[in-house]
């Protein structure tokens, strides 16, 4: 792609997120907007922008019949698909506020969000989802209409309707009801430091300005195809994989599922990828496993390709001199790099990683093999992108430099402070929490500690509040979870861990008396060395932990547990004088045990 930005729709031309859609339809009506897999016909199908306009018109007409007024909230709980976009655009055209929900979340959590936001229409997909929702219908009294994408057999619910009968057969897109850039567009719920999520209020302008500033950092456009697999309920995917793609005229293909991702990469052969570290880790892990099974020569060749490829990258960036070993690159590219790139479809030319820190070994490997991964940083509260590396100015250990229109500085306790067009309007119904994160001058405290280099690159160094960021980008407040787990008298001390990992684990010190009683019921020897490692014991303990953290979001699940008899003490250096757990010391002491919990993943 050229650096020419003429194909990009500017914030002035779009004004609102629905204005962006209308402008894209006008500019490239026949271009392919979305590709998706049709399960009934078992093949990939597509929608042009003109077809999307006609579909959005049907959704708009159906929503209009519900008698909603601008500012009313509507909820969407679908996997990534064209209908997500249709519903979103129809709602935005009517000035409605869209509340996205995770499809994997627990019913209680969904009910809390829907009720807190006061959503009046709720779009979901499957009969299985309806079965789960039925248990919490009484907790969502404000919902007047439930719409299902797939047919659901339930005549006992007057507000329930199948999309096939709810949508008119055809309609014409009516002009937007609201054209105010400052109007609230969406409320996106994020897990805070308590078990309950907070609703982040983002305006049309917040998201449009953020998407546009992000687009100016790298050349993408109408010849590009992006594979979308992060949930659209995640701000990163919504801004980058939906609005930004629309702004640049990029075709978006919706992956079938994470397990089928490698197959979809081969079929779609994307040129762009927006991802969290977990996906790169999976591919890298699969490569290493395959190498471990093969001959030694292949491993040595792989190591050499990374060594030479990395030097080539540093040379291209202007940070390393030319070296004779670069003469080997064409051969190494043919034997190693091109084969790895082929697993990703063979056409990838740009990839962005955000949501959590990308492990250096993974980043180095892909960059060396020819995939320019640009690591960035952001949070839901900043719409979400704050900074990103640029193709010609890429320091992979950093999260890049701030976007145009975004200011960053280091505040008290080395906190990274952000001010700019992406800063949220505030938390829904929670002015106190808003005041705690945004000061009077408009600086938002990210809660992360950082340093900013002379080149303006931001390096994240830690976190002010204890929040675990998993490798899929989900944020978990461990202290709150630990407090809930401790309600069970079986547990004397608990530490939840999962920083940069695919799932959460817990280190648990058992209460001696409660453990002896439990051992009797499980018919095991409480004092025997191997008892605490028995699968049966672990499963029982995990079930009890799950009971205690039931009110936390669905992704906040403990998958493995390491059980201990020996308590953590001040004397052993694992507790502070005020009996707080010294997390780093506990992690250091039990590093081997923790690694074992992740073995095979």
Domain ranges for the chain, please list them: 11-180, 277-422+430-463, 477-597
* Full strand arrangement of the beta sheet holding 43-48: 43-48, 32-38, 251-254, 225-228, 272-275, 350-353, 373-378, 385-388, 401-402
Which residues are 491's β-sheet partners?
Answer: 510
Smallest CA-to-CA distance from 183 within 206, 200, 213 is with 206
Question: What does the radius of gyration of the chain's CA atoms come to, in whole angstroms?
Answer: 25
Per DSSP, the three-state class of 545 is helix
Give me the pLDDT at residue 554, please.
82
Residues 6+ apart with CB under 8 A from 210: 239, 382, 383, 384, 385, 403, 421, 422
Give me the pLDDT at residue 193, please.
38
Give me the pLDDT at residue 192, please.
47
Write phi, then psi, for 346 (nearest 5 degrees). 85, -5
CA dist 414 and 461 (Å) reads: 9
H/E element, 340: helix 338-343
pTM of the model: 0.84
Would strands 197-203 and 184-191 be described as parallel, antiparallel, or unpaired?
A: antiparallel
CA dist 590 and 133 (Å) reads: 41
Task: Report the 10 Å Cβ neighbour count for 572.
Answer: 13
Q: How far is CA 598 from the centre of its chain?
A: 21
CA dist 354 and 277 (Å) reads: 7
Q: Which structure tokens are listed for 596?
A: 């074992």
Smallest CA-to-CA distance from 424 within 97, 197, 192, 205 is with 205
Q: Which structure tokens are listed for 286?
A: 């699969």
Q: Are the CB atoms for 270 and 141 separated by under 8 Å?
A: no
Where the chain has pLDDT below 70, the residues are 1-4, 155, 191-195, 576-579
CA dist 76 and 101 (Å) reads: 6
CATH code assigned to 11-180: 3.40.50.980
CA dist 391 and 372 (Å) reads: 7
DSSP 8-state class, residue 511: P
Smallest CA-to-CA distance from 30 within 48, 9, 54, 52 is with 48
At the second CATH level, the architecture of 277-422+430-463 is 3-Layer(aba) Sandwich (3.40)
Domains 11-180 and 477-597 share a fold: no
Helix 17-27 vs helix 49-65: crossing angle, to nearest 10: 140
Q: Hey, which bits of 379-443 come out as E strands?
A: 385-388, 401-402, 406-410, 415-420, 426-427
Give me the pLDDT at residue 578, please.
52
Residue whose entry in the numeric block shows the structure tokens 């700019």: 420
At the second CATH level, the architecture of 477-597 is 2-Layer Sandwich (3.30)
Q: Are the CB atoms for 121 and 92 separated by under 8 Å?
A: no
Give me the pLDDT at residue 191, please.
61
CA dist 467 and 489 (Å) reads: 25
Half-sphere exposure of 70 (CA within 13 A, CB side): 12
Give me the pLDDT at residue 155, please.
66
Q: Which structure tokens are listed for 2?
A: 């050229």
Give me the pLDDT at residue 276, please.
85
Q: Which structure tokens are listed for 257?
A: 């599922």
Half-sphere exposure of 494 (CA within 13 A, CB side): 28
Smallest CA-to-CA distance from 396 within 348, 355, 353 is with 353
Task: Report the 10 Å Cβ neighbour count for 427.
Answer: 23
Q: Which structure tokens are listed for 210?
A: 């953020």
CA dist 380 and 73 (Å) reads: 19
């Amino acid at each position: 792609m050229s650096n020419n930005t003429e194909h990009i729709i500017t914030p002035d031309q779009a004004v609102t997120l629905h204005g962006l859609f209308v402008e894209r339809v006008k500019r490239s009506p026949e271009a392919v907007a979305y590709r998706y897999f049709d399960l009934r016909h078992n093949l990939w199908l597509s929608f042009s922008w003109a077809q999307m306009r006609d579909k959005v018109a049907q959704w708009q007409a159906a929503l209009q019949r519900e008698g909603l007024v601008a500012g009313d909230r509507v909820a969407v709980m679908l996997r990534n698909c064209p209908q997500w976009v249709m519903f979103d655009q129809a709602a935005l055209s009517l000035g409605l506020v869209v509340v996205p929900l995770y499809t994997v979340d627990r019913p209680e959590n969904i009910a809390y969000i829907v009720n807190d936001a006061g959503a009046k229409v709720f779009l979901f997909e499957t009969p299985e989802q309806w079965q789960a929702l039925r248990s919490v219908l009484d907790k969502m009294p404000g919902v007047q209409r439930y719409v299902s994408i797939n047919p659901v057999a339930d005549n006992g619910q007057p507000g329930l309707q199948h999309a096939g009968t709810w949508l008119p057969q055809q309609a014409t897109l009516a002009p937007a009801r609201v054209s105010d850039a400052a109007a609230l567009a969406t409320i996106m719920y994020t897990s805070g430091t308590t078990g309950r999520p907070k609703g982040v209020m983002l305006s049309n302008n917040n998201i449009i300005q953020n998407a546009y500033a992000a687009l100016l950092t790298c050349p993408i456009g109408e010849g590009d195809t992006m594979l979308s697999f992060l949930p659209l309920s995640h701000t990163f995917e919504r801004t980058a994989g939906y609005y930004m793609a629309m702004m640049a005229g990029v075709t978006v293909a919706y992956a079938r599922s994470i397990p089928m991702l490698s197959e979809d990469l081969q079929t779609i052969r994307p040129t762009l990828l927006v991802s969290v570290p977990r996906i790169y880790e999976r591919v890298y892990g699969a490569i290493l496993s395959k190498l471990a099974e093969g001959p030694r020569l292949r491993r040595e060749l792989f190591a050499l390709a990374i060594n030479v490829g990395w030097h080539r990258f540093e040379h291209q960036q202007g940070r390393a001199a030319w070296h004779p070993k670069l003469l080997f690159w064409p051969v190494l590219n043919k034997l190693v790099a091109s084969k790895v790139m082929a697993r990703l479809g063979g056409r990838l030319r740009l990839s962005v990683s955000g949501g959590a820190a990308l492990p250096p070994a993974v980043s180095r490997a892909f960059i060396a093999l020819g995939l320019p991964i640009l690591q960035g940083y952001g949070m839901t509260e900043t719409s979400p992108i704050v900074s990103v590396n640029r193709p010609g100015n890429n320091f992979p250990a950093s999260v890049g430099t701030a976007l145009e229109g975004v200011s960053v500085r280091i505040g008290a306790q080395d906190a990274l402070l952000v001010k700019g067009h992406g800063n949220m309007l505030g938390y829904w119904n929670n002015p106190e929490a808003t005041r705690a994160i945004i000061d009077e001058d408009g600086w938002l405290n990210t809660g992360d500690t950082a340093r900013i280099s002379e080149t303006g690159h931001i390096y994240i160094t830690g976190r002010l509040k204890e929040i675990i960021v998993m490798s899929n980008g989900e944020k978990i407040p461990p202290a709150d979870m630990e407090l809930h787990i401790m309600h069970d008298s079986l547990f004397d001390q608990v530490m939840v861990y999962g920083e940069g990992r695919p799932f959460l684990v817990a280190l648990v010190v058992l209460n001696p008396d409660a453990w002896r009683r439990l051992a009797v019921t499980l018919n095991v020897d409480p004092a025997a060395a191997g008892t605490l490692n028995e699968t049966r014991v672990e499963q029982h303990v995990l079930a009890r932990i799950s009971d205690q953290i039931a009110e936390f979001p669905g992704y906040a699940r403990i998958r493995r547990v390491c059980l201990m008899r020996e308590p953590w003490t001040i004397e052993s250096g694992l507790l502070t004088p005020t009996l707080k757990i010294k997390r780093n010391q506990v992690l250091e002491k039990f590093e081997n045990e923790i690694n074992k919990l992740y073995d095979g993943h």
